[in-house]
Chains A and B, each alone.
Chain A
């Protein structure tokens, strides 16, 4: 199994630009989670899906952030427009049984200049 695959691994962009992060979960997993990790705030849950349906997006910081899961094998997290305070590592994770055992991707390191 290839594990959770995220792309790109690194993204450097300028303030105001649109950023799209991508995630391919492990096949057969029906939960998908998007997290953001910073030194100051640690690991924060942004949104999670069950069977491609968004269940809880209360962690999404503001309307500039949106997430979609058009099918069981693909999800995107979009930031538009991006701001320097969005700089962080964004992780995608998937799970088969409700979320205790989550498998994380390698993360996307985002820098907004």
Chain B
């Protein structure tokens, strides 16, 4: 079973920041938070991951709470092309691991 809880859908205006929340209250100390997105009819695309510190790359920022029980993915300036299903996943980063996807959040970016 997925270890994360996400809202089923969210809307965002184009050009505004999209903040996607994720709850992972049972996360273990050695588990990372990963975010992927899946644009219609394509394979999932890696976005970002983190352990306990906030992370930023060219696509997004990841904010993890101090107790690590929740996180937020931030797309700073959403575009229409960011419309997709966003998956929040927790898993061990190294060694034999498998990625368990939940239902994700369907983000609609509107003009």
A and B from one complex: no
Binding site for B on A (CB under 8 A): none
